[in-house]
Amino acid sequence: MRRPTVRGGRGFTLIELVITVAIVGLLASAAYPLAELAATRARERELQAALREIRAGIDAYKRAADEGRVAKAVNESGYPKSLSLLYRGVADPKRGDKAMIYFMRRLPRDPFAAGTLAAEDTWGLRSYASSPDWPSEGEDVFDVYSRASGVGLNGLAYRDW
């Protein structure tokens, strides 16, 4: 008597495995650029938020200097001399108890800065006396910019944000 042979249903053939691996590889290669784009977009949002936060702190410092709550000389612009004054605070001359005024809780890092630099060292500084086209450091901090050399998804250089 002949026994019937059982065919199929016990596993995959080699061709089925090769096709499955090829499809998974194709899907993964299509998903990688999307994941990279999402990561870049997240870092750009973080850069925008950091710039907004620092600039708000600089503006608050200037407002306090104009109101006489931050000591300044007659020939000074009223902008902070360094970014550290925004989070380390300055003494309020209007109060006798030497109370400190803080303009930021902490200074954010530039998300595109590499390495282990301190947060303050990741930003480019522009003084009040320098040109917007060619920002340079000076006696005060009027604005900050990213030192990253790349171009954002919007087509503008990170430096110009």
- The pLDDT tens digits of the residues spanning 137-157 come to 989 999 999 999 889 999 999
Q: Round to whole Å and give the CA distance between 109 and 51.
A: 10
Q: Is 103 part of a structural domain of the chain?
A: yes
Q: What angle do CA 135, 58, 54 make, to 5 degrees?
A: 80
Q: Is 6 part of a structural domain of the chain?
A: no
Identify the bridge partners of residue 144 per DSSP, sorted by sequence position.
Answer: 125
- Tens of pLDDT, residue by residue over 103-138, are 999 999 999 988 888 889 999 999 999 988 888 898
Query: Domains in the chain: how many in total?
Result: 1
Q: Is 3 part of a structural domain of the chain?
A: no
List the structure tokens of 76. Answer: 């000074």
Q: Is 81 part of a structural domain of the chain?
A: yes
Q: Round to whole Å and give the CA distance between 141 and 86.
A: 11
Q: Is 28 part of a structural domain of the chain?
A: yes
Q: Round to whole Å and give the CA distance between 83 and 89.
A: 10
pLDDT attached to residue 95:
77
Q: Is 78 part of a structural domain of the chain?
A: yes
Q: Is 96 part of a structural domain of the chain?
A: yes
Q: Is 8 part of a structural domain of the chain?
A: no
- 40 lies in which domain range? 14-160
Q: Round to whole Å and give the CA distance between 131 and 99.
A: 35
Q: Round to whole Å and give the CA distance between 102 and 87.
A: 6
